[in-house]
Amino acid sequence: MKGTEWDVIIVGAGPTGGRAATHLSSLGHRVLMLEEHSEIGRPFQCAGLVTPKALHEVGLYDSILEEVDGARIHGPSGTLVPVGTDGKLRTYVVCRKKFDQGVVQQAMEAGATLWLNSQPLSADSSDEHVSIEVNKNGVKCNLTTKLLIGCDGAHSWTRRYFKMGRPKEMMIGFQAEVLGYEGNSRWLDMYSGSEISPGFFAWVIPSGFGSHRIGVWSTPERLNGRSVEQCYDDLRSHPLWKDRFTNTKEIARFCGPIPSGMVRKTVTNRVMLLGDAAGMAKPTTGGGIGPGFKQIKGILQPLSEAITTDKLTEKSLKKITTKHFTAMKKDQDKARALRNLLVSDVPDKELDAHFTNFAKPEVLQLINEIGDIEKPVPLGLALLKKVPAFRKLALKAGTRLLFR
Ligand SMILES: Cc1cc2nc3c(=O)[nH]c(=O)nc-3n(C[C@H](O)[C@H](O)[C@H](O)COP(=O)(O)OP(=O)(O)OC[C@H]3O[C@@H](n4cnc5c(N)ncnc54)[C@H](O)[C@@H]3O)c2cc1C
């Protein structure tokens, strides 16, 4: 093989691209990662929550900034629902720069090549290969690959270039890193209500060395002309919680999109989308690292065989991906339907009533037993089935979607 011919070219060396490159290189394929920035993991737009499952998969323990045992969730009028148990770890907070760099380093150790300051300019997919024109450090070069994988994030060039659809929802997230927030050690805070995070929630996450990440997210339709920064300001000055923010000092600000809702076409001839590029972030938490990892892991063996035998037509790729991707999409759709039903499409007064129910000891016990950030659907369904106050919602839910 020449230096211009690859088995797999991955556009984007974020966590999904790095993970896909590690898997495919480990299986003996020649993999090139193209990253448009001069450094991995910068700029980052992330709260840094990584589930134990995703973290254990890569073993990047030196990227951990904090361990989190639970969340203090606040209803619009202040009802507190603490979910979690002291000493029982629920999730990790990582340094995204270290985490992303670690994931990409693993790919290189497995044999993948990384080009920084590089991005595709055009591509053409034929029966033989995909030919790509790449800008590498300002110099144009032509490459060919058997398979092109777009792991290039929320605004994916690959997705747009090959007209593969759009994520169902594109949430907008805003986050500030602050010093001096009055929180509880090993617990994160979540705040709800139409003023501060319409349809969603605001978060305050301990991020090590006395700092916290304060964030809000919502959809443009729900924001109705307001900006997420305004929501953030409203959280900081909210009569119920402003005391917690009085002594905070901002040290950084970030804003970014969160694509959730798998795109119409995840594959086309010799092209595939993974991670944020495919719209994989969770509708309930916005987490996209775990789903990106899961998406590639579930198709690895058949994909590797298809690369080896060069069977990478749209039909072949669909055969490889349909079962796994459809199951992930169904889960995402259910989680979104439950989120809308219980939180997002609910006026504050009704949300307050839900919080009163969530805070009842027997419901809290259920939440703590079944609640899992990775799998919100079983908890949502259990709440609808087992909590009398929520039963009438189950009917309203359009049971076809939730219980099919
Ligand atoms: C405010 C906020 C908070 C979040 N908090 C969390 C959280 O706590 N936990 C969590 O799991 N997720 C969180 N997310 C989502 C998370 O950041 C993403 O889901 C995750 O980074 C997706 O990984 P990825 O590799 O698919 O895409 P990305 O991380 O976006 O990586 C894409 C890579 O591709 C590169 N790239 C893009 N275009 C090109 C191109 N044309 N050519 C070459 N390279 C290109 C980019 O530079 C980048 O390195 C949050 C998002 C936001 C906005």
Atom of ligand 1 nearest to the CA of 93: 8
What stretch of H or E contains 174?
Answer: strand 169-179
> Does 389 share its domain with 301?
no
pLDDT per position as a tens digit, 157-181: 999 999 999 999 999 999 999 999 9
Comparison of pLDDT for 30 and 386, the residue scoring more: 30
Side chain identity at residue 232, one-letter code: Y
Distance CA 282, CA 333 (A): 10
> Does 218 share its domain with 232?
yes
- Direct distance between the N- and C-terminal alpha carbons of the chain, in angstroms, rounded to an integer: 49
Average pLDDT over residues 249-261: 95
Atom of ligand 1 nearest to the CA of 118: 43
Neighbouring residues of 267: CB distance < 8 A, sequence distance ≥ 6: 273, 314, 317, 318, 321
Torsion of CA 303, 59, 93, 25, to 10 degrees: -30
Assess whether pLDDT exceeds 50 at residue 12.
yes
Average pLDDT over residues 44-63: 94
Ligand 1 contact via 117 beta carbon (within 6 Å): no
Distance CA 61, CA 219 (A): 33
Closest residue by CA, ligand 1 atom 37: 152
Distance CA 385, CA 361 (A): 17
> Does 137 share its domain with 227?
no
> Does 175 share its domain with 162?
no
Assess whether pLDDT exceeds 70 at residue 397.
no
Average pLDDT over residues 47-74: 96
Pairing of strands 70-74, 187-191: parallel
Nearest CA to 6 out of 157, 190, 178, 144 is that of 144
> Does 80 share its domain with 149?
no
- For the chain, what is the largest distance between any 2 Cα atoms, rounded to a whole number of angstroms? 66
Residue 391: predicted pLDDT: 78
| Number of separate domains in the chain | 3
What stretch of H or E contains 187?
Answer: strand 187-191
User: What size, in residues, is the chain?
Assistant: 404
Angle (nearest 5°) at CA 256 between 299 and 149: 25
Within-domain flag for 115: yes
Residue 34: predicted pLDDT: 98
Residue 69: predicted pLDDT: 94
> Does 227 share its domain with 82?
yes
The answer, as to whether pTM is greater than 0.85, is yes
Atom of ligand 1 nearest to the CA of 49: 8
How is residue 250 written in tokens? 């901002």
**Residue whose tokens read 């997705």:** 159
Cα within 13 Å of Cα(135), Cβ side: 8
Assess whether pLDDT exceeds 60 at residue 187.
yes
Angle (nearest 5°) at CA 357 between 353 and 358: 115
CATH number at residue 252: 3.30.9.10
Sign of CA dihedral 113, 153, 322, 339: positive
pLDDT per position as a tens digit, 266-320: 999 999 999 999 999 999 999 999 999 999 999 999 999 999 999 999 999 999 9
Ligand 1 contact via 198 beta carbon (within 6 Å): no
> Does 269 share its domain with 242?
no
Average pLDDT over residues 127-154: 98
CA of 274 to the centre of ligand 1 (A): 11
Within-domain flag for 206: yes
Q: Of 237, 258, 279, which residue is a domain's last? A: 258
Residue to substitute in 35, 151, 152, 203 for testing ligand 1 pocket (most ligand atoms within 8 angstroms of CB) = 152
Within-domain flag for 345: yes
> Does 189 share its domain with 297?
no
Distance CA 201, CA 12 (A): 29
Assess whether pLDDT exceeds 90 at residue 251.
yes
Residue 145: predicted pLDDT: 98
What is residue 35's three-state secondary structure? coil
Nearest CA to 231 out of 286, 173, 278, 282 is that of 173
Confidence of residue 400 (pLDDT cuts 50, 70, 90): very low
> Does 378 share its domain with 396?
yes
Residue 392: predicted pLDDT: 75
Side chain identity at residue 132, one-letter code: I
Residue 124: predicted pLDDT: 98
| Contact in structure between 90 and 70 (CB atoms under 8 Å) | yes
Nearest CA to 284 out of 212, 344, 224 is that of 344
Domain of residue 360, residue span: 336-403
> Does 253 share its domain with 177?
yes
Confidence of residue 404 (pLDDT cuts 50, 70, 90): very low
> Does 143 share its domain with 250?
no
> Does 115 share its domain with 243?
no
CATH number at residue 272: 3.50.50.60
Within-domain flag for 281: yes
